[in-house]
Chain A
């Protein structure tokens, strides 16, 4: 009846897990009780859970991403404290089997359920506003994408309390992830979570590529697209070319585990290196999928806070395109030690080094954007300066490892771990945090307190160097990654420093939480100087999203903008805004739909039932999903028109706020 699932699957003998479970349960019950007490279930369902509005989906993505950030960060604290303790005979507090699960959880959650999620939040919020569209091309598919992401995050976290977490690293290398060595359910949870979230990401890529190609405001030429949207475009192209490969690698691993096939097994003619090639020909483009939008965020912020147009717009676009191509042909540098021979390694080594060229172009473009500008060091701008320094160091260590000869020495050492945290924290994470604080007032209509953002940056910046520079050092001294304990006295001081670093980072996370809490308080008390009346919160916005009210009305643009070149809004501020042309007209919008959450529930059931071999539940949920899709396909009542009166009232209120803001100046 319940497949392999029995009561013994619940790990009540592991105190850390029991404690975590009690914590999650208490918070969960508190939230549910609060929603019930304030009678908000109806509101939540009608306005949020069934939404197809890209702005609301973005907010839900952000919440999910931030929760997962805290979740993944807790794993980081456990690893650093374990390694500070587990020295010279002291086993530390995490036994090896548990430690394996912790580092697997950290990597899996930070990439798939933190970084990818916040990236999709930024796509969702910013792209339609920047190109003057009223929604994405397929709003319902957008909602489905979100639910696939959400349920996969839920599924991977269920594994903590029912069964076990995967213990084979964030990429699940065979043969250790094969049934022979890993008969438990951890790897199965990993496979199905990644598959479900992959469906969501693939749909997002398809959706935003179509949106950017087909839904730009009338007159917006290709070379007038804002840089963030350009980076989204290239990121989507990489999603579409590489996520299918991830889908296949996960499916084949599942076939090995479920049907006894021999793709990656040691026996039967399977090939382990085939898996590595497949997974990294997704995995390396994946890091560029993540970093390109961060580059886009920095481009927007550098121009806004320097009071100048972005230096070298065209070279920025072409550099992004070149990175897209080069990023797809370097994957073998993850396993130079495979033994592919000198010719193959040389090709991939040189291609890897080439990527530093377009990236260098970008760094210089940002520097020249700031050069002779009126640079204002507000919160978002802090992150970009920290990024340029940190990312350059990370890039240089990357070029070091691109040399196959050097890589043979430091392969799989903590040097590598330090390198990729250097570029992912210093690049991706700094970029996403900068993006959140930059567009936050646009989403909610009020500003966050800048001082807490600046403190968060300072702690993250210093904490990063304290945590990861020591790892470069121990890596060069020969410490391999994923070690649970060690005896080398030379390593111990470095790992103590790294442990201090992780607590400095924790202070940064606290500052970010405090910033949101104060923001919420300011919003509830309607603190006057926190409100964004003009829609152009930073005063120097250049792109279309700053020309409309904050928070943005659900139809985005009352009249479709007329594109007058790159940075239309900036041109209009310089030349004076033209009087609106023509009468307001009713706006055609999609209706909200319950299809997204319903399919989400079925996907969760399918994933969970596949993990535990509960076949009847798989079939029932598949049938349910099929009926849902067919029912939707027969539904002709899917859209409506926003009446002119509503739009006019919004426009008049916005005009009054603008006039009041002007008078206050």
Chain B
């Protein structure tokens, strides 16, 4: 958590918390932008290698858009449900927060499961990441996104139990929920780019 000694305890207590939150949010935004550069670099790598099939299968032959469309719908929906969780957190409705978090978690897990089944199907059909540079860059980019979603889900579980526990919906908890919200929506934006450039771009 961020710390800010520039406010003396005599300053109004809420104001003090507010200022600390603002610093934390700024720091988290900065972190997210570095994550954005990680994805940007992976997209650049994919753009460079996406035609290096090395005699292996092409994206057009491999990708099943139906599956990807379901994944996309699930992830976008999970952003909405997380939004409802945050609205209820601001309204201090603890029970509703927990329900919406649980829904978001279920959607997130189903996204990851679909992705894992897609990956294992590709590997089973001999189109694993070691087949060609195209497949290496595909697995690295989409896999990094999936890894981020998984970490987001673990984070969500931790916050779920902290909301349930003694931290409740205090100002420190609100900061954490807002950070995860930024992270979750950010992953959505990245996924839209993955969907457009990787899947649609390969099939067209």
Chain A residues packing against B (C-beta within 8 Å): 133-135, 137-140, 202, 206-207, 209-210, 213-215, 217-218, 240-241, 243-245, 247-249, 251-252, 255-256, 259-263, 267-271, 274, 278, 555, 560, 585-590, 626, 630, 633-634, 636, 638-639, 641
Contacts and interface: CB of A to CB of B under 8 A. Distances in A.
B137 A214 contact: no
Contacts of A586: 8-9
A135 B167 CA distance: 26
Contacts of A589: 3, 5
B133 A270 contact: yes
B-side binding surface: helix, strand, loop or mixed? Answer: helix
Nearest to B170: A636
A515 B149 CA distance: 53
A214 B23 contact: yes
B158 A271 contact: no
B116 interface: no
A391 to B, nearest CB: 30
B4 interface: yes
Contacts of B6: 133-134, 215, 217-218, 560
B52 A269 contact: yes
B54 interface: yes
Contacts of B134: 269
Nearest to A132: B6
A262 B3 contact: no
Interface residues of B, number: 47
Interface centre among B34, B38, B52, B139 (most CB of A within 10 A): B34
Interface centre among B30, B140, B166 (most CB of A within 10 A): B30
Nearest to A281: B41
Contacts of A252: 45, 140
Given A244-B41, A269-B133, A207 B5 contact: no
Interface in B9-48: 9-10, 22-23, 26-27, 30-31, 33-35, 37-38, 41-42, 45, 48
B81 interface: no
A218 B54 CA distance: 61
B61 to A, nearest CB: 16
B1 A209 contact: no
Contacts of A590: 3
5 contacts: A133-B6, A206-B31, A263-B137, A274-B45, A639-B3
Interface string B164-176: 0111000010001
A133 B4 CA distance: 9
A273 to B, nearest CB: 9
A271 B162 contact: no
B69 interface: no
Given A263-B136, A263-B140, 12 more contacts: A134-B6, A138-B2, A138-B27, A139-B3, A214-B4, A240-B33, A248-B38, A248-B41, A269-B49, A271-B52, A636-B167, A638-B1
Contacts of A243: 34
Nearest to A588: B5
A240 B23 contact: no
A589 B9 CA distance: 11
Given A261-B129, A269-B52, A633 B158 contact: yes
B130 interface: yes
A636 B173 CA distance: 11
Contacts of A207: 27
Contacts of A267: 54
B23 A210 contact: yes
B132 A262 contact: yes
A638 B172 CA distance: 12
Given A139-B3, A210-B23, A633-B162, A244 B34 contact: yes
B53 interface: yes
Contacts of A588: 3-5, 7-9
B3 A210 contact: no
A278 B42 CA distance: 10
A554 B4 CA distance: 15
A633 B4 CA distance: 18
A268 B133 contact: yes
Contacts of A213: 26
B7 to A, nearest CB: 7
A480 to B, nearest CB: 29
Interface centre among A243, A269, A630 (most CB of B within 10 A): A269
Nearest to B1: A638
A207 B23 CA distance: 10
A245 B41 CA distance: 6
Interface centre among B27, B33, B158 (most CB of A within 10 A): B27
Nearest to B172: A636
A503 to B, nearest CB: 43
B132 A268 contact: yes
A70 B153 CA distance: 45
Given A138-B27, A210-B23, A248-B42, A241 B37 contact: yes
A271 B37 CA distance: 21
A249 to B, nearest CB: 8
B3 A137 contact: yes
A269 B130 contact: no
Given A244-B41, A268-B54, A214 B3 contact: no
A217 B5 CA distance: 11
A254 to B, nearest CB: 11
Interface centre among B3, B133, B134 (most CB of A within 10 A): B3
